Amino acid sequence: MTFSSGTPQQPDTPSQLTGPELAALIDHTLLTPEATDADVAAALAEAKELGAHSLCVTPARLPLDNPELPVTAVVGFPSGAHNSLAKAFSARIAVDQGATELDMVVDLGAVTAGAWNMVMADIVTVREAAPSPVVLKVILETAYLLTLPDGAERIDRCCQIALAAGADFVKTSTGYHPAGGASVEAVRIMQESIGGKMGIKAAGGIRTRSQALELVAAGATRLGCSRTREIVTAD
């Protein structure tokens, strides 16, 4: 089983990334609930063709047949409102079935309530179930948090907790929250909080090459995209 590095460095010149260089930062994503095994196989072939970093799928579609690249599975997706032990069990099964990276959704209710010990315990429980070298990313739903008066402070606090809990990345969004997905503002807040100490994954609503490059320039070291081909082949 091959595991990827936990904390990649940001490219020196994000605005000048070539298509293949940009593809190498992307977790090619297929998380629609109606996706079949055949759909996942097609997405896997596309990810390989384009040179994506990994394929991101739901745990129900594991194991994949000869993936030959890292496989990311989501945990507690998309609400995060799952018992921590259920998240941990899901994480362990996903790893046993070939996932080398996990994208877990934070306990957003605990974040909203400011129950920071609960947030820490949730992440630690998953980290203990899937220790390094499994790469653990924590999804914060930053678009929602930025609707709150102290949203930037909450994003910062979540980043610091994720770092202390042993996660490898913080991630902006699931792409399923009605508040929206990735934004340059959110990535900059995350970068200011933990830049260089963890990876930052921007995901949710990334549709164009220019948008992807803006997020990388703001500090993203990984991207989650379902429109990978359009993004990496655009002029």
The single residue of 103, 107, 122, 168 carrying the catalytic annotation is: 103
Token representation of residue 213: 């490059």
Residues 6+ apart with CB under 8 A from 66: none
The single residue of 87, 122, 168, 171 carrying the catalytic annotation is: 171
Say whether 201 is catalytic: yes
**Strand 135-139 with 101-105, pairing:** parallel
**CA dist., res. 131 & res. 144, Å (int):** 29
How many beta carbons lie within 10 A of that of residue 118, not counting itself? 15
**CA dist., res. 72 & res. 230, Å (int):** 21
The single residue of 87, 107, 137, 201 carrying the catalytic annotation is: 201
Q: Write the secondary structure of 74-127 as one string of H (helix), E (strand) and C (coil).
A: EECCCCCCCCHHHHHHHHHHHHHCCCCEEEEECCHHHHHHCCHHHHHHHHHHHH
For residue 162, which phi and psi values (nearest 5 degrees)?
-60, -40
Q: Which long-range contacts (CB under 8 A, 24 or more apart) does 42-51 make?
A: 44/69, 46/228, 46/229, 47/228, 50/23, 50/26, 50/228, 50/229, 50/232, 51/20, 51/23, 51/24
Residue written as token pair 């032990």: 85
Contact call for residues 200 and 170 (beta carbons, < 8 A)? yes
Residues with a catalytic annotation lie at: 103, 171, 201
